[in-house]
Amino acid sequence: MSEKLQDKFGKKMPWVMGNQVRIPRIKYPTYREGSLSLPSPGRSMMLLGTFIFLFWLLMGGIYILIKEPSAMGGNASGAIMWLYPSTSDAFVIESIVAAVLIFIGGSGFFLLYNATKHSFNYNYAIKLLILGMVLAGTSFGILQYMMAVKTGKIIVS
């Protein structure tokens, strides 16, 4: 519509609508039946909420809610203990440490995945590959050590 007006009246009134002037078009909103958009948080906030929920699940949040934890990290005499001697129970601090180690291992696998995306940048891909393998292997080793101590295969004084 605006181009037609410019073509129609531009030759008769060049001082009003010259070649440099462009009449903007107005976009009228279209009515859509039944569409309601509510404000929602950004993707980064939803991702952060998802990671916090996953951390809570890995930490044993449901177990802590259902069963009252025996203690935060000590025995009856008051000595500090990091690992509960049974595999069916856990201290809260033990659950938090295990969840942190699982997240570190997961970030190692994420770095391994990203190393495949940067295959043309060889030096960067090798750095990501080594760092991912170190993170995943270290967290797996520490978790296995924790389980060996809990089952009594390794005695720590």
Residue 65 domain flag? yes
Beta bridge partners of 80: 74
Domain with 67 in it: 44-151
Determine the residue type at 25. Answer: R
First to last CA, the chain: 87
Per-residue pLDDT tens for 28-79?
A: 777 777 666 667 777 788 888 888 998 888 888 887 777 765 556 666 676 6
Residue 61 domain flag? yes
Of 17-21, 25-29, 79-83, 133-137, the one with minimum mean pLDDT is 17-21
Residue 13 domain flag? no
For the chain, what is the domain count? 1
Residue 8 domain flag? no
The C-alpha atoms of residue 26 and residue 59 are separated, in whole angstroms, by: 55
Residue 58 domain flag? yes
The model's pTM is 0.62
Residue 156 domain flag? no
The C-alpha atoms of residue 93 and residue 29 are separated, in whole angstroms, by: 56
- Tallying the residues shown for the chain, one arrives at 157
